[in-house]
Amino acid sequence: MDDLEQKKLVKKIEVIMPLFAAPTGYDLTSMKRLKGLFAEIKRFAIRTTAIHPAIKKIYRKFAPGSYFLTTYAATSNFKKALAAYKLTELWGGYIQFEDLFYEHGKKEYRDLAYVFRGQAVKKLDSRIKKEMAYTEDILQRYWLMETAYKKLLQVGHVFTDSEIRKFILLKARSIQCYSVLLKKYCQIPDTFVRFINYNQAIYNFYDDYWDLKEDLDDKAPNTFILALVNAEEYTLKNLRKLTRVQIVALIKKKEVWMRLQKIACGFKNKAEKIKLPAAYQFWNFLPRFNYEFFELYF
């Protein structure tokens, strides 16, 4: 590990973290600096640690930087924080390649997924393994729902707000595994787990927005497509003929984003009512920051 690189990163952390020690109100500038810090942590890991080439290909799909900072905020231990990062990186590789297996059915994806899972499990004690079994049950439920929704999409099912809310929240809960992994390094209360579930649900709308064309090509459930598709004009087949620009224009024209914004607002309100431990104060405004995606893009 490059000591100079580490010292530079620690200095940035020590400058930014006090901004959230006693927050008095939402500050967009501070939030942007925090997101920049997440990105810097990620760049540090890429520069200074070994990363499997397959994980690099799907790296944009998950953000272990936030879990590095969670561990560091609780322990002030850089070594533990980086270990937490690498552990969530491995489990992220497992989730993403297992997800690709469910989408495409290619055995090579599942093989890769279980390589990463196996490497991660070796680092866990029996207590955490037991809790991880529960989070994997959530993952299985999500993948079953994703498969069911994929079939409904292809027959032009008109999805209700309730169905979309259920789908996006279960998808968010599937990352509950990361909270359990962090218990290897620091205290993680149930309130924190609930909080990040709601925050992730809001962020997933942003993720779906950027994955619009990719999800259409894969015939994969995407909240914007779920809200737009019907059995007549906006069938999955017809939507796949459109460019990404045309799809976004249609989402704006039909005000599909307003349906999703309402759902996201419900998650934001629930998250903001949850009290977090002092060390994790920096998470407090992430739900609002992610929610503002709707205002910025629509």
Mean pLDDT (whole number) for 73-87: 96
Which amino acid, one-letter code, is at 169? L
CA–CA gap between residue 144 and residue 199 (Å, rounded): 23
Q: Which of 56-70, 104-118, 182-196, 231-245 is predicted least confidently?
A: 56-70
293 within some domain: no
pLDDT for res 24: 65
Check whether residue 82 and residue 118 sit in a common domain. yes
Check whether residue 140 and residue 199 sit in a common domain. yes
One-letter-per-residue 3-state SS of 237-249 = HHHCCCCHHHHHH
SS3 state at 106: coil
Q: With CA atoms as reference, report the closest residue to 235 among 168, 293, 153, 176.
A: 153
62 lies in which domain range? 1-16+26-123
**CB-based burial label for 180 (10 Å; 0-12, 13-18, 19+):** buried
SS3 state at 222: coil
253 vs 64, higher pLDDT: 253
175 within some domain: yes
220 vs 63, higher pLDDT: 220
pLDDT for res 45: 93
Mean pLDDT (whole number) for 131-145: 94
Domain boundary among 123, 158, 179: 123
For 51, 130, 157, the CA distances from 198, given in Å and listed in that order, are 29, 24, 26
Confidence of residue 22 (pLDDT cuts 50, 70, 90): low
230 within some domain: yes
What's the pLDDT tens digit per position in 212-264? 999 999 889 999 999 999 878 899 999 999 999 999 999 999 999 999 999 99
165 within some domain: yes
pLDDT for res 26: 80
Check whether residue 100 and residue 131 sit in a common domain. no
pLDDT for res 150: 93
What's the pLDDT tens digit per position in 265-281? 999 999 999 999 988 99
CA–CA gap between residue 267 and residue 197 (Å, rounded): 9
Question: Is residue 160 a contact partner of residue 237, using CB atoms and an 8 Å limit?
Answer: no
pLDDT for res 228: 95
Check whether residue 132 and residue 247 sit in a common domain. yes
